[in-house]
Structure formats: structure tokens, C-alpha cells
Amino acid sequence: MSETEFHGRVVLVTGAAQGIGAAVAQGFAQQGARVAVVDIQKEALEAAALKLSQQGGEVTAFPLDVTNNEAVAQAVSVIEQRLGPIDILVHAAGVLRMGPIVSYSDANWAATFAVNLNGVFHVSRAVSERMIPRRRGTIITVSSNAAAIPRMDMAAYATSKAAVTMFTKCLALELAEYGIRCNIVSPGSTDTPMLRSMWADEQGTQRTIEGSPQTYRTGIPLRKLATPVDIANSVLFLASERAGHLTM
């Protein structure tokens, strides 16, 4: 593991059991950070943390439901007691529950917003109130390009991502006077379990790249899916001093 400007920094990554969150945790761990990984998937989270630890990273698993405000507050307190003050927070937890609006259930709507928006609010509030007295910190939200582009059967997901994008910008405005930066990474189609859950067969990759005019789904000019590491690299840049004048 290499030592860079993140050496010894405490990083909290939500949704770190798989996909983009796992890649973000790995990126910070490889650069010497002390990483707290959280996810509701306890076994998968602990397995991911163990793998990174065996590779030489300093990674600790904290199973957590980000929709539970009291549990979030307690977890943040425990993380700071065990690892030290949180320097960087990355929101990568997210859920996708697809379906047409006219038949979409109240339960799926509530569950989508509970994780994709409320979870970000709960964790941001718990962490930022600790960052403010220290007058430093970085918060990065993994949103989606669906926040700005309508998607068939994805109204709840797209709307929750639009909401969390604006929430992060408002948070950035309020925290700027304390030297805390907040930014957003909005991936397009990325090869994760979430994306693959949308595919009916092995042709899913090609159909995603090509797009679908019938469903108003844009294609990918680069002719390839993003990887979780591609997105993680953007997160690490925004967390670095090279992005020291970037916020909102």
C-alpha cells in the first residue's frame, strides 16, 4: 500500500459492501487512509473489510442501517472514538427499485428515499456537526446522471438522486465558512450489481451502451461501461488537495 496525502486520514464510506462504495474504500485504503466502511449487508461488509485488511489496508467494518438516525449518530461516535476524527465522508449507499409510476408501491417509494436521500441527511448531519468545530473536512456524495435525465421505470431513483444532489449543494453552501468542502460525483452506467439487476440477459451490456430511443435512454459514446474504480478515482480526486478550491 502506498502512502500519500491520505495517509492517516480517517475516511467514512457508506454502501461499502460492494460496487462503487467498495471501490472507493479500496482506493483510500491503498493510499494509506484509515477507512471505516458501513453497510446494512453485515456479512458482505465484513468480508470486504477483511479482504482489504489482508491486502495491507487499515479498514474497519461498522454494520449500519443509514436510514436509522439514532444508529447513525451512535456509529459516528464509535468510529471517531476508535479511529479518530473523520476527515472525509463518502456517501455511496443507494438502492434501486424499478417500476412504472402508476403501479409503484408506497413501500418502494419510501424505501428508495429512506436510503438515497434520508440516509445521506442522517450521516451528513452526524458527521458535519463534528467537522464544524474542527473547521475542516470533505464530504462527497455519489449521485447519478439520472438526477438530470428522466428514466423509464426509474422515477423514484431519479427523483431521489435529484434531491440528494441539491441537498449536497445546500450543505456545501452552509459548511463553506468552516472550510468544509462538499461535492458530487454523478456516474452514468457503471458495471455494478445495481446495474446488472436491470438486465434480463447477457445482452444487457451492449443494450446499455447503445441506448434506447424508445425509452429515452441515452447511449454511451465511449462504447464502454464505467467501472467502480473509474468512479472511485473521481471521488479520490475530489477528496484530495488538488481539488482544494472545488465545492458545490
Tell me the three cell numbers of residue 124.
451528513
Q: Which three cell numbers stand for residue 66?
A: 443509514
Helix (H, G, I), strand (E, B), or coil: what is residue 44?
A: helix
Q: How far apart are the first and last CA of the chain?
A: 31
SS3 state of residue 241: helix
Cβ neighbours of residue 59 under 8 Å, at least 6 residues apart? 25, 29, 35, 37, 49, 52, 53
Instruction: Kindly list the strands in the beta sheet with 137-142, ordered across the sheet, starting from the edge strand earlier in the chain.
Output: 58-63, 34-39, 10-14, 88-91, 137-142, 180-185
Beta strands in the chain (DSSP E): 10-14, 34-39, 58-63, 88-91, 137-142, 180-185
Q: Which of 86, 67, 71 is nearest to 11 (CA)?
A: 86
Catalytic residue chosen out of the listed positions 104, 157, 178, 216:
157
Q: Is 104 considered catalytic here?
A: no
Catalytic residues, by residue number, are 157
